[in-house]
Amino acid sequence: MKTRAVRLYGKEDLRLEEFELPPIKEDEILAKVVCDSLCMSSYKAAKQGTEHKRIPRDATTNPVIIGHEFAGELIEIGKKWTQKFQPGQKFSIQPAMNYEKGPVGVLGAPGYSYRYIGGDATYVIIPQEVMLQKCLLVYTGEGYYPASLAEPLSCVIGAMHANYHTKPGSYKHEMEIREGGNMALLAAAGPMGLASINYVINREDIRPALLVVTDLDQARLERAEKLFPPALAAKKGMVLQYINTAGSPDPVEKIRSLTGGKGYDDVFVFAPVPAVIEQADKIMARDGCLNFFAGPSDPDFRAYINFYNVHYEATHLTSTSGGNYDDMAEALVYLSKGLDPAGMVTHIGGIDAVRDTTLHLPEIPGGKKLMYMHLNMPLTAIDDFAEKGKTIPLFKELHAICANNKGLWSVEAETYLLEKAEIH
């Protein structure tokens, strides 16, 4: 079985290549990848090369396939797994396996550490450790892109579950965000912030009473508010407010004033910027939990934290990197029930656009870049479909489909693309 894949050899050395996959062993599974959503973590891996904690040191001679937010279809099942999986099933993978015997130890992950599995490929071999760690999950919902975006949604879910609080007189950590509390999502009008808003609003068990979303980009805030209007949150018993902190003489006071001066029980930081972290520290209520969601690329990244409040106000800090099996399973349940992550997606492309898009990801505006592995297609913003449609019939129809869905990607658009575009 031949596959086309984008492989990492070293710093900024990504190559789209075609090569032969070995026959699968009885404890492996052959799978077809349909789509992969590009992640900033892949950009960081490409920038750091073999210095990255998840990239094997011998990648220069044994390159790895990148991409870890992917979905597709199982093709051939090794004998060991025939009672659990069947050909034709749609799947998603939780890449954060925490498998101590992986290629780079506990941090080994598909999309970073393996020669034959990663999201930016047409066909992959799923190794047995993925199944042993319960990281191969069947998706029963419509389409493929929701399953691809299950991984970033699982990261959000994991972060929410990782927050914790205490009661006066007790040191017992009560895991979770505070029910009926105040929550702030800072610098959160980007893709992961949108996923967080979506999850908080649609969550069925625990919700805050107040949700405040901040950003410096008015256009991104307006898009977030269009996707998730305050009226929608109000139906779930929540107050939702969007705040642009750009140019504010005192953004901390502006944000705190929305709580009557009490502060926020749960604060999530979505940008690795010291000023944003310090802002988060200042708006916390007593026993507030600051979750540093954004992963910095600078190993010496630092920010100021008020330890007086840590001691006397019981404020505390936590962080997560990825989700786990339970988070992924929860994400797939919500997606199968109809939670639509399409608002995260702003660009569509093919496998031939993966390399350059990954290497320049921070420079490309918008949200998630969703790449279809069996297509050759330049990275194209959904907002540009109309213009391209003047000369290319495919984009004309895709624009019409998206226009009927509030300008968003959809299962209908995906189905049309996969049926009508030239498959390679």
Provide the phi-psi class of 97: left if phi over 0, else alpha when psi is between -120 and 50, else beta: alpha
Is 261 a domain residue? Answer: yes
pLDDT along the chain (424 residues), means of 10: 97 97 97 96 94 92 97 98 97 83 74 96 96 93 95 94 93 95 97 96 95 96 96 96 93 96 97 96 98 89 96 95 88 90 96 98 94 97 97 97 96 96 76
The CA distance from 55 to 237, in Å, is: 45
**Per-residue confidence (pLDDT) for residue 171, from 0 to 100:** 87
CATH code, domain with 243: 3.40.50.720
The CA distance from 52 to 198, in Å, is: 31
Do residues 108 and 2 share a domain?
Answer: yes
Is 44 a domain residue? Answer: yes
Do residues 193 and 287 share a domain?
Answer: yes
**Per-residue confidence (pLDDT) for residue 100, from 0 to 100:** 67
Is 11 a domain residue? Answer: yes
Do residues 237 and 108 share a domain?
Answer: no
Is 327 a domain residue? Answer: no
Is 161 a domain residue? Answer: no
Is 332 a domain residue? Answer: no
**Per-residue confidence (pLDDT) for residue 86, from 0 to 100:** 98
**Per-residue confidence (pLDDT) for residue 357, from 0 to 100:** 98
Do residues 202 and 294 share a domain?
Answer: yes
Do residues 97 and 241 share a domain?
Answer: no
Do residues 192 and 142 share a domain?
Answer: no
Do residues 203 and 312 share a domain?
Answer: yes
Domains identified in the chain, total number: 2
CB contact set of 332 (below 8 Å; sequence gap of 6+) = 92, 137, 139, 141, 147, 150
Domain carrying residue 410: 1-149+341-424
Do residues 142 and 190 share a domain?
Answer: no
CATH code, domain with 358: 3.90.180.10
Do residues 299 and 347 share a domain?
Answer: no
Model-level pTM? 0.89
Please provide the distance, in angstroms rounded to a whole number, between the alpha carbons at the two ends of the chain.
14
**Per-residue confidence (pLDDT) for residue 325, from 0 to 100:** 87
Q: Tell me the Cα Rg of the chain.
A: 22
Do residues 225 and 185 share a domain?
Answer: yes
Is 155 a domain residue? Answer: no
Is 336 a domain residue? Answer: no
**Per-residue confidence (pLDDT) for residue 317, from 0 to 100:** 97
Do residues 198 and 141 share a domain?
Answer: no
Do residues 115 and 188 share a domain?
Answer: no
